[in-house]
Structure 1
Amino acid sequence: MLGAIGSFSAMAVAGRELGPILDTFEIMMYRSFFGVIIVVALAYGSGTWREIKTDALGLHFIRNIAHFAGQNLWFYAVTVIPMAQLFALEFTSPLWVIVLAPIILGERMTRVRVTAAVMGFIGILIVARPDMDGINSGMIAAASCAIFFALVAMFTKRLTRSQSITCILFYLTVMQLVFGIICAGYDGDIALPGWSNMPLLVLIGICGLVAHFCITKALTIAPATVVVPIDFARLPIIAIVAMLFYGEALDIWVFVGAVIIFAGNYFNIWHETRKTA
């Protein structure tokens, strides 16, 4: 989980630095390009390339459309709102899973899940403090990316029933490279990064894969009730990083809202784990 926290934080800083140079589609295109190289090399190096199958291409396509949309919104938001606010709103993703799972996965909506979702939305209101002047495109993008990441989580859950991690990551990088090329090149102008920006793009490509691998690995060796609280340490860490590097003020209400969002998440996970046990 420390690896995931470091990777997400590094990706946020790299995305903030690249924002004035490349648009989000171009960032995603280059990120996916380096991701394809890494995944293919690891698949052949480990011998897992045989696990790449074509029997669930439709589900892979839907999952990656959702991920591409969510990640583009995330990269846009990181350039226009404080990083701590982005991370706090991103943490509502598991609560959107609670809301959408009955529709997509056919799971039952319980009173505990409803309570957790309501707590999460109260947290959103505290973080965003919506009024006629306070709502901006960055907040909308950050809140929207959480919904798309929730869809990604649910479609990933369905894919893991029959697909390996290598297969999922292969289609993740290949499909999003195609999406990136189409969206970045629709206007006939794809910006080429300078050599000074190349390390940042490589960093984003590596961190995106490492973060998801670390979270997946953490969940295989520790209960979710242990893993999720550690993930929420991203918020104070990125707040301190943003303060030191970009002079962003520490907003107490962002932390108050995040605590309520965390409480809703943790309450639901604790109840589900206890029920399973």
Structure 2
Amino acid sequence: MSKDQHPSIIAAFWMTGALFSFMAMAVSGRELSQDLSTFQILFFRSLIGVFLIGFLVARSRHGWSQLATRRTKGHLIRNLAHFGGQYGWFYGLAFIPLAEVIAIEFTTPIWTALLAWLLLSERITLPRLIALIFGVSGLLLILRPGMESLHPASFAVLAGAMGYALSYIQTKSLSATDTPLCILFYMTVMQLPLGLIPSVMDWKTPGMHSIPWILVVALTAMSAHYCMARAFKLADATVVVPMDFLRLPLIAVVGYLFYEEVIDWPVAAGAGLMLAGNLINIHAERRKSPLRHESLREPLSPE
């Protein structure tokens, strides 16, 4: 690509890679759920991730020395929360429409703002409060409590979004002292036994047809957030976040074409409310600090 291209155009290309990675990860998770438990999916994902991140650490400028950390407790809290987030996400893929999983996941900025207020003493400004109100309204529109029976998987995804939020708060804290590769390395190492131990209790040997899907899950987990991180580095969140919300209509089309899932318009409307709230908050943050590139989601943590 030409070096004289506008950074926002290059960021859009990186986000295209992230979007396709997220969709491939969702489809592969749905396919694997037919043969493997959620714990096994997470185990294989971490197993491949250990080798992949280990290779990147070995080739990086700081090498293995960057893994020295005094914040083992912080890494443990982050990875327990992130593992819970992953479990809720992959569990939801097996039982509810793909678009509903992604839409509920978009509540993560709501819980991140609340946890930042509770744990980091960050102020909830008027724009942030508006984003919270829009987000909760969108969530109620998606879940439609009282109108129909809700599948437990919906609540699992919602709990997973809360887990992701706590992991993002911990990532923000850890990134002050540890490198991104250090954070990702401990993520794979710590989450490996969390997936392995429950898997052994109900082990199902994956067939040859599952191997490609396992590889897709592991590789797209890394590629999705690598692409997103590159996009955030090149452009403001006002460019990147709206593109991330394209995951919802795109995954709805995938669900319709491959799984005959009906496109649920209340889910789309609810996600639209969340997007509106996020954009209001991002615009306010940019006016307050024009040189600061804000993002409502940490791109370091693979979902």
Instruction: Output the TM-score relative to the length of structure 1.
Output: 0.96
Residue 235 of structure 1 aligns with which residue? 248
Shift of residue 134 of structure 1?
A: 2.6
> Which range moved further: 109-118 or 62-71?
109-118
CA contact (8 A) 2:88 2:158 kept: no
Matches of 1:207 and 1:89, distance apart in 2: 20
Residue 113 of structure 1 aligns with which residue? 128
- Aligned with residue 272 of structure 1, among 279, 285, 295: 285
Residue 196 of structure 1 aligns with which residue? 209
Shift of residue 50 of structure 1?
A: 2.5
For 1:64-111, what per-residue CA distance to the aligned partner results, in whole angstroms no more than 9, with x for missing partners?
000101101110101111111111110110111111111112211122
Task: Give matches, 1:8-157, under 5 Å.
Answer: 8-47=22-61, 48-131=63-146, 133-157=148-172
Moved over 4 A (4+): none
Matches of 2:66 and 2:227, distance apart in 1: 20
Shift of residue 20 of structure 1?
A: 1.7
Shift of residue 191 of structure 1?
A: 1.8
Matches of 2:134 and 2:260, distance apart in 1: 30
Does the alignment pair 1:254 with 2:264?
Answer: no
Shift of residue 274 of structure 1?
A: 1.5
Matches of 2:97 and 2:55, distance apart in 1: 36
Query: How many pairs align?
Result: 275
For 1:167-224, what per-residue CA distance to the aligned partner results, in whole angstroms no more than 9, with x for missing partners?
0110011111121112222x2x322211211111111111111112222222122111
Matches of 1:180 and 1:216, distance apart in 2: 26
Aligned-pair identity (%): 43
Shift of residue 268 of structure 1?
A: 1.0
Q: Secondary structure at the match of 2:207?
A: coil
Shift of residue 132 of structure 1?
A: 6.3
For 1:11-38, what per-residue CA distance to the aligned partner results, in whole angstroms no more than 9, with x for missing partners?
1100100112111111100110001111
Matches of 2:139 and 2:29, distance apart in 1: 23
Residue 163 of structure 1 aligns with which residue? 178
Residue 226 of structure 1 aligns with which residue? 239
Matches of 1:131 and 1:251, distance apart in 2: 17
Q: Secondary structure at the match of 1:68?
A: helix
Letter in 2 for 1:259: G
Matches of 2:127 and 2:33, distance apart in 1: 40
CA contact (8 A) 2:45 2:217 kept: yes
Shift of residue 45 of structure 1?
A: 2.5
Letter in 1 for 2:31: E
CA contact (8 A) 1:128 1:134 kept: no
Matches of 2:154 and 2:259, distance apart in 1: 18
Letter in 2 for 1:108: R
CA contact (8 A) 2:74 2:170 kept: yes
5+ long unaligned stretches in structure 2: 1-14, 291-303
For 1:200-251, what per-residue CA distance to the aligned partner results, in whole angstroms no more than 9, with x for missing partners?
1111111111112222222122111111111001011100011000000111
CA contact (8 A) 1:93 1:149 kept: yes
Residue 11 of structure 2 aligns with which residue? none
CA contact (8 A) 2:134 2:274 kept: yes
Residue 216 of structure 1 aligns with which residue? 229
Residue 220 of structure 2 aligns with which residue? 207
Q: Secondary structure at the match of 1:190?
A: coil
